[in-house]
A and B are shown apart, each in its own frame.
Chain A
Amino acid sequence: MSTQQPVLQLQNLTRVHGAGATEVHALRGIDLAVYPGELVAVMGPSGSGKSTLLTIAGGLDTPSSGRVIVEDTDITTASVKELAALRRRSIGYVFQDYNLIPALTAAENVALPRELDGTSARKARVEAVAALEEMGLGHLADRFPDEMSGGQQQRVAIARALVGDRRLVLADEPTGALDSETGESVLALLRTRCDAGAAGVLVTHEPRFAAWADRVVFLRDGAIVDQTVRSEADSLLSGQVAEA
């Protein structure tokens, strides 16, 4: 298993916004590899660089230096066309603000990336409805974003990120507008996808959601300062003392 190739590799990544006096070092030398089957949570205070890391990993922003490799493609040197194909086919992205297209229904929003990728409209619709059902939203397939609650829109955005066979799922605060129970079911679903072989990166403020990850990475001022890995199941709860 250790010979497996990471789905995502970030190598010595930096990102500087602005220049001169207003220069902001959003990322300072990030190294991170995410393997198939692995869910990594990124935690850190506001402004520590979490969204910057995720948008660069998803090819939506370019680093000031360093490399981003998704499967076999270095997306910092890929052509625009290659990058677009990779984003449609391999990368699912949930934005901090859901980013649905207002003129399209829930099902059309979810089906769009598949259709752009050449899947027939009929098949894309079937897949989209199935993905919406997984999110408990089958009955809202034909509603427009402004006819749904924030939490419902968020779940549509998650369905869009998970539809099809995405190898890499990147989610920025996907539980933001959700209540505790719904947030939990979103995490359980993300976990299932990763258990089935996808690689996932989840940005969250909520330790309870981060705890679904295999690894939690702590970001501070644009650098990874610490991380934690969960135990194997059999060693759990050992070493606990009985309380009389």
Chain B
Amino acid sequence: MSIRHGLLALLERGPRYGSQLRTEFESRTGSTWPLNVGQVYTTLNRLERDGMVAQGGEDDAGHTLYAITDSGRTELRTWFEKPVDRTSPARDELAIKLAMAVGAPGVDIRAVIQSQRRHTVKAMQDYTRLKAQALLAVEGGGARERDDVAWLLVLEQLIFQTEAEARWLDHCESRLIRLSATAATGAPASAPAAPAAPAAPAAPAPPAAAPNGPTAPSTSIAPGTSIP
């Protein structure tokens, strides 16, 4: 994720100071990728070194203001025009984990898949709840509407991304079942066609509390996820 280009995009709307950039960046992306002020200033320094921003005096409160330069504008334009590179995919821990789990002794790959599925679907539930709030904010209109729309788009991206992962997990599981069924066709017809059902990692307990705040069964996985 490019903080550099994010800052240039914000500066194109007029000169700003460091902590202001941080606030605006976060309200656009809903603190999904929190920035600290240090990161903002380091990035501004690099942009200044590369001639893409210039210090442009102070505001009334004495904050140093930064402004985008022509070469910064050119860089920003190119960024919007060029697709984000997908041909050298980032390392994905889950893909690596499943690849390693195939045939690993003592590893129940279906249990690995189910434990991930639970975690991924839960993350989707959380994002969806935030999305419902963001939708309300967008429909309510108001001064912050542009930020709300931006935040909604980011949330939906997270939802689609986790959805793709959940679907891929379903696919992996059915593929494994089919493959083990194929492997078993040489054997007598009574041979088990599929691996044993995964052990339920958490016994499904009835909800301890009722509506709106079901507190029941907490999983062993910490809330919140890192962005894949």
Residues of A within 8 A of B (CB): 1-2, 4, 31-33, 35-38, 43, 45, 188, 191, 194-195, 206-208, 210-218, 220-221, 223-233, 235-244
Binds A, one of B52-60, B179-187, B195-203: B195-203
Q: Give the secondary structure class of B's interface.
A: loop
Instruction: Decide: A214 near B211, CB < 8 A? Known: A208-B124, A226-B200, A229-B122.
Output: yes
Q: How many positions in chain B have a CB within 8 Å of any CB in the partner chain?
A: 61
Within 8 A of A (CB), among B13-71: 30-36, 39
| Chain A residues near B3 (CB-CB < 8 A) | 244
Within 8 A of A (CB), among B172-228: 174, 197-198, 200-202, 204, 206-219, 222-227
A232 to B130 alpha-carbon distance, docked (Å): 10
A-B contact pairs, 24 of them (CB 8 A): A1-B211, A31-B204, A38-B211, A207-B121, A211-B127, A211-B128, A211-B159, A224-B200, A225-B114, A226-B114, A226-B201, A228-B122, A230-B122, A236-B223, A237-B31, A237-B126, A237-B130, A237-B224, A238-B223, A238-B224, A240-B33, A240-B226, A242-B35, A243-B33
Please state if B226 and A233 are interface contacts (CB–CB under 8 Å). Answer: no
Binds A, one of B77-85, B100-108, B142-150, B160-168: B160-168
Please state if B159 and A229 are interface contacts (CB–CB under 8 Å). Answer: no
A235 to B121 alpha-carbon distance, docked (Å): 16
Q: B117: CB under 8 A from chain A? A: yes
Instruction: Decide: A227 near B213, CB < 8 A? Known: A33-B206, A207-B166, A244-B3.
Output: no
Q: B132: CB under 8 A from chain A? A: yes
Q: B97: CB under 8 A from chain A? A: no
Residues of B within 8 A of A (CB): 1, 3, 30-36, 39, 114, 117-122, 124-130, 132-133, 135, 159-160, 162-163, 166-167, 170, 174, 197-198, 200-202, 204, 206-219, 222-227
| Chain B residues near A211 (CB-CB < 8 A) | 121, 124-125, 127-128, 159, 163
Instruction: Decide: A210 near B197, CB < 8 A? Known: A35-B210, A243-B33.
Output: no
Residue of B nearest to A229 (CB): B214
A23 to B160 alpha-carbon distance, docked (Å): 40
Please state if A228 and B219 are interface contacts (CB–CB under 8 Å). Answer: yes
